[in-house]
Amino acid sequence: MAGPVERFVAELPKVELHLHLVGAAAPASVAALAARRPDVGVPADIASVKALFEFRDFAHFIAVYLQVSDLLRDGADLVELADGVVATLAAQRVRYAEITVTPYTHVAAGIAWPDVRDALGEARRRAARAGVEVAWCLDVSGDDGAEAAEQTARWAVEDPPDGLVSFGLGGREAGVDRAAFAPAFAVARAAGLRSVPHAGEADGATSIWKAVRDLGADRIGHGVRCLEDPDLVAHLVNEQIPLEVCPSSNVCTAVVAALGEHPLPRLVDAGLVVTLNSDDPTMFGTSISDEYRRVADTFGYGVDELAHFARSAVDAAFFPWARRRALHDEIDAALAASREADRDAAGH
């Protein structure tokens, strides 16, 4: 019989803020695409795809991620991929997800921007019918450079997909100057998009300072190395800049050696706004529900702590206050039902 935490996680309405479309692709989907595009060099059987996702380090992960991205050659591929991701989210009671797409990579692989835009709009409409509200983040890989970021910003501002809410920076952190991307972020922010750069994952606290000062970060993708600088922690707390923490991802890319060594409890104790996310769930063998379960098992969190993480994600999401209030009510109802089930179990 499932325990209280397991039952609560299954019933908990969730928001996910750090989720990459390509990284959420099911192995079966990747294998099917690979069979149609053998020139990319991705294996075409599920077992080999799963083996491909056994990452040695962060650089290896980025290389595999880009290789899988190269399998996507038209808008229909993007819609198909998104349908599978949404089905997984719906099964976990995810009510809202901000999903990151890297259009420069897809355009380089041969998909015209209008086709990418239309595919994202169609995928969002299909997601709504499945009960999941999807919003989009357009990001650029740091390795693609400032010119790619400026092109992505033009797409985002001049011809955006339906549901676009934010602009991001991903890929390799070490050796990539965040300040070089400031002009693109300025364009996006002036148009009302929110800033969500990755920082403080493979690189240290300085990268987070740059994300805040140069890119105007509204949230930090990962940010777990902020603890290296107490002044930075104080700034993030004072400004209430949320962290999109992805515990299993940090283990898989060797940012931390094991989940038990993850700084999550110290981030929480420091008063930081912490949200839980799955990042690239298929590639990292996880899901948003798994992240809640794993941190509960590893750090002894109960349903109250898990509800707090869920509420933090709701508060950090880029949607209207009315939507936020409704989701808080759903979380409160799930928590009340969990407590009532515990009382009934104790009574018997």
Catalytic residue status for 147: no
CA distance 271 to 275: 12
User: 33 CB contacts (<8 Å, ≥6 apart)?
Assistant: 42, 71, 72, 77
Cα gap 335→328, rounded to integer Å: 11
Instruction: State how far the Cα of 253 lies from the Cα of 246, in Å rounded to an integer.
Output: 11
Angle between helices 303-316 and 288-299 (to 10 degrees): 140
C-beta atoms surrounding 145 within 10 Å: 14
What are the distances in angstroms from CA 63 to CA 66, 133, 172, 245, 327?
Answer: 5, 30, 10, 22, 37
Q: Cβ contacts of residue 43 below 8 Å, gap of 6+?
A: 31, 34, 49, 51, 52
Active-site residue, from 98, 201, 244, 291: 201
- On whether the CB atoms of residues 326 and 311 are closer than 8 A, the answer is no
How far apart (Å, rounded) are the C-alpha atoms in residues 328 and 181?
A: 35
- Could you list the active site residues? 201
